[in-house]
Chain A
Amino acid sequence: MRRLQALLLGIVAIILLLTGGAWFLNQSDGAKGSKIINMYNWGDYIDPKLITKFEKQTGYKINYETFDSNEAMLTKIKQGGTSYDLAVPSDYMIQKMKKAHLLKPLDQSKLPNLKYISKDFLDQPFDRHNRYSVPYFWGTLGVVYNDKYYQASDVNSWNKLWNPKFKGQIMFVDGAREFMGIGLASLGYSLNSKNDAQLNQAYNKLKSLTFNAKAIVSDEIKMYMENEESKVAVTYSGEASEMLSENSHLHYVVPNGGTNLWFDNIVIPKTSKNTKGAYAFINFMLDPKNAAQNAEYIGYATPNKKALAYLPKSITNDRQFYPSQKQMAQMEVYEDLGQKYIEKYNDLYLELKMYRR
């Protein structure tokens, strides 16, 4: 009994102590009611120094909260109970949120800095005329290889991944669109195909690719490539750029014959209560100097044309991360497939995953 009492007292004391500490830190952090901007973003997806700079310049306070997948974010915003002023979804998700009426249309007259964004990244199929979103970062889907074992010519087209010499060696990023997309692209079909015959053809072709798979993982690919657990991996350019900076033997290739072009854009959800602050922040992030600073911190490609001038030439001239116009013409952005085909893609993908064993 005494032990229980001692434990109880100890716990209560610790709770009070911690609450005091949290209260003190919150106070010194200066959280004030009406000037708060609630931002919903991927974890560690902005240079924290920019947040501090923005707060100092404008007097707003940014409440930075994080999610780990587009779909999880969608569920949260759809269900309500929150009031996010800004969010950073990817392309197809913007289309989906738009359809579900979860976004506020943007007043572009309030975003003078939008002019710095390169035309190549505006007016995309998922959001025509950028009525709802502003590009934040962009990139491609490609192949990372280790030059100790392979060279660029081994992986510069999707069809080469079927080469038997890769048996049990390739890591794939865990996503139905990505894996099915490899099959579709290798057959010359659209990544957004809604043609059952094409999908089945891709499915049958992919069956034999599963034997070349070492593992199907997601964010961990970075770690596995850096420590050379795996020699080849299919992954996103953003992730690839981070791997390359950690291991000089790694290289990134965008295979010929089409691949996915992805965007993470900033949007203002319907639930926003501080729209004025949201516009101020978007405009701040569109400023070339800030965009360059952010791109340098994150390592992804920035859509801000003016910002490129502030970035090192070695980065902006790299055709793998900043592909040429001609390469970009072959690429395709994911569109929202609608419920029926999302399920179809995922069902086929699940069966492919199970086929492997």
Chain B
Amino acid sequence: MKKSRFKWSNLYLILVFCFLYIPIFYLMFYAFNAGSTMNKFTGFSLAHFGELFADTRLIIILLNTFILAFLSALIATLIGTFGALFIYYVKQNRSKTLLLSLNNILMVSPDVIIGASFLILFTTLGTAVGSLNLGFITVLLSHIAFSIPIVVLMVLPKMQEMNDSMVDAARDLGASNFQVLKDIVLPVLSPGIIAGYFMAFTYSLDDFAVTFFVTGNGFTTLAVEIYSRARRGVSLEINALSTLVFLMALILVIGYYYISQDTGKNNSKGGGVK
């Protein structure tokens, strides 16, 4: 009986994964279209990949987009994790709710409002300091800014599971702050931190409106480029690009997983700390 229930759950998961991946495969399929739209498949061709490789500008934009996403997510995760630690230790329920609400403001605000207010913020700061050029730095700061709340939201629930008495015990045994953090707190939080990182990464890749407002000469991301192409129709070159990005991401994800599996095993043999 147990076995048959197991099968049902697998079927459900297969359906969910199909749902998630069908649009992606649809896009990838049309990347190989000889025609120029996603309406009719007129024949197999690699022409769009050729266009893509000849387009240095687009490739630079792609690299910029990923540098931005990896870096902003990293910094946002660092800041957000410590922010979550702090919020957790706030004793008063009222102040905790207030802090969490402040934390969530950037999540309720529509992108257009965030983008416009950040633009005003940067240009006022710019006039105060002298001159400030919009560009990579302002975009990076904005992406870090709007990714922090999601990291906090991912890490906080893990905090609830942390055993406070264990922290106290460690302190009684003379563990330093750093040791407590490294050996007790972070291991418990690590699933939350990793989830937070990936969510922040996703937010950064997805964002169009905020980036548009705060970028300047010489720096564009893929999302801005794709949206501004909409008036003339997004060419299949972008599908080809997405296909490559998807395949690379897939390889990276699987590679990362097996590497982390290995280190995980070594770890459990050595120390027993998860």
User: Do A and B interact directly, with beta carbons closer than 8 Å?
Assistant: yes
Number of A-B contacts (CB under 8 A): 146
Residues 19-33 of A contacting B (Cβ, < 8 Å): 19, 21-22, 25-26, 28-29
Within the complex, which residue of A10, A22, A246, A298 is in contact with B64, where a contact is CB–CB below 8 Å? A22
Within the complex, which residue of B56, B120, B260 is in contact with A29, where a contact is CB–CB below 8 Å? B56
**Proximity bits, A62-86, B CB within 8 Å = 1, else 0:** 0111111000100110011111100
- The minimal Cβ–Cβ distance linking A44 to chain B, given in whole angstroms, is 5
Instruction: Find out whether the CB atom of B190 lies under 8 angstroms from the CB atom of A75.
Output: no
Q: Does A222 contact B (CB under 8 A)?
A: yes
Q: CA–CA, A29 to B56, complex, Å?
A: 8
Which residues from chain A contact B122 at a C-beta distance below 8 Å?
Answer: 81
Instruction: Find out whether the CB atom of A75 lies under 8 angstroms from the CB atom of B213.
Output: yes
Q: Does B111 contact A (CB under 8 A)?
A: no
Q: CA–CA, A294 to B232, complex, Å?
A: 14
Instruction: Find out whether the CB atom of A66 lies under 8 angstroms from the CB atom of B55.
Output: no
Which residues from chain A contact B126 at a C-beta distance below 8 Å?
Answer: 80-81
Which residues from chain A contact B216 at a C-beta distance below 8 Å?
Answer: 81-82
Q: CA–CA, A8 to B263, complex, Å?
A: 13
Instruction: Find out whether the CB atom of A79 lies under 8 angstroms from the CB atom of B123.
Output: yes
Q: Does B220 contact A (CB under 8 A)?
A: yes
Q: Does A43 contact B (CB under 8 A)?
A: yes
Instruction: Find out whether the CB atom of A7 lies under 8 angstroms from the CB atom of B55.
Output: no
Q: Tell me the dominant secondary structure on chain B's binding face.
A: helix
Instruction: Find out whether the CB atom of B230 lies under 8 angstroms from the CB atom of A43.
Output: yes
Instruction: Find out whether the CB atom of B227 lies under 8 angstroms from the CB atom of A68.
Output: yes
Which residues from chain A contact B197 at a C-beta distance below 8 Å?
Answer: 7
Within the complex, which residue of A25, A75, A226, A227 is in contact with B59, where a contact is CB–CB below 8 Å? A25
Closest to A300 in B: B232
Q: Does B264 contact A (CB under 8 A)?
A: yes
Which residues from chain A contact B226 at a C-beta distance below 8 Å?
Answer: 43
Instruction: Find out whether the CB atom of B67 lies under 8 angstroms from the CB atom of A18.
Output: yes
Q: Does B176 contact A (CB under 8 A)?
A: no
Q: CA–CA, A4 to B119, complex, Å?
A: 34
Q: CA–CA, A22 to B57, complex, Å?
A: 10
Closest 4 CB pairs of A and B: A43-B228, A43-B229, A66-B228, A81-B134
